[in-house]
Amino acid sequence: MTAAACTKEQYELEQEFQPLFDFLAQEKKDFSKVSVYKSSIYITNNETEAEKEYSVSFEKLPNNTSGIYSITENDQKTDYPVSLDDNGELTYPDAVPEAFDTAVFNLTFEKGFFQSLPISDYLAEHPETYLKDITYDLDDKSSYFSPIKKKYNLSDNATLFLRAKQLYGNNKNLIYNIRIIMEDKKQTFDFINTVSFQN
């Protein structure tokens, strides 16, 4: 992929996100250096404002691969046990109403994808929280998101939003999240994956 034009400051900022980009480039996720991983899907009906949330959370990786799968609808939250098998796939010891979307849990972008996108906005470092983020300018018709649009019956003209954040970073831990919003007249889908790496 061809790299998009960027300033020196933007380039240096993207380098700080390389652990996240490398993780997202893995088709089979390597959780050996991950301590926390959470994947969430928020669905809003734009006509009725009804909301539904799905989330999978693993808080004690890599040694403990047991986690919680939560479904929230009409302000009622139900938790189910979930675990990661040796291939990094979700498994459910008990029956669940519907499985979590593996395409979101294993969100994958080929190497160089982010560097190929123009940056529409960024924050090199918040003066108080040290938060860093990059918002990318996405083509609403990007083929990367066509399968998800089709799965959730979003129109081809649904708008796309993509942001990467570094929430925390020191010599021992790096915490990032990646957020994607897809919206058309009827629905809004908000996907957030958060990952904490151990240095």
Helix (H, G, I), strand (E, B) or coil at 13: helix
| Residue-level pLDDT at 63 | 93
Distant-in-sequence contacts of 172-176, Cβ < 8 A, 24+ apart: 172/198, 172/199, 173/35, 173/197, 173/198, 173/199, 174/19, 174/199, 175/36, 176/17, 176/19, 176/20
Is this prediction's pTM over 0.85?
A: yes
Give the confidence band of 6 by pLDDT, cuts at 50, 70, 90. confident
Distance CA 125, CA 139 (A): 27
Distance CA 183, CA 190 (A): 9
- Average per-residue pLDDT for the chain: 90
Alpha helices in 62-115 (DSSP H): 102-105
Which phi-psi region, left, alpha or beta, contains residue 9 (left: φ > 0; alpha: ψ -120 to 50)? alpha
What percentage of the chain carries pLDDT values higher than 90? Answer: 63
| Residue-level pLDDT at 33 | 92
Q: Is the pLDDT of residue 4 over 80?
A: no
Give the confidence band of 2 by pLDDT, cuts at 50, 70, 90. low
What percentage of the chain carries pLDDT values higher than 70? Answer: 94
| Residue-level pLDDT at 130 | 73
- Please, how many CA atoms are within 13 Å of residue 136, restricted to the half-sphere of its CB? 23
Residue type, 173: N
Task: For residue 51, list its beta bridge partners.
Answer: 44
| Residue-level pLDDT at 131 | 86
The 10s digit of each residue's pLDDT in 35-46 is 999 999 999 999
| Residue-level pLDDT at 144 | 80
Q: How many angstroms separate the first and last alpha carbons of the chain?
A: 29
The 10s digit of each residue's pLDDT in 131-151 is 899 999 888 777 788 888 888
Q: Is the pLDDT of residue 117 over 80?
A: yes
| Residue-level pLDDT at 5 | 63
- Please, how many CA atoms are within 13 Å of residue 177, restricted to the half-sphere of its CB? 15
Q: Region 181-189: what's the mean pLDDT?
A: 94
Are 61 and 36 spatial neighbours (Cβ–Cβ below 8 Å)?
A: yes
- Return the closest-CA partner of residue 145 out of 88, 98, 184, 186: 184
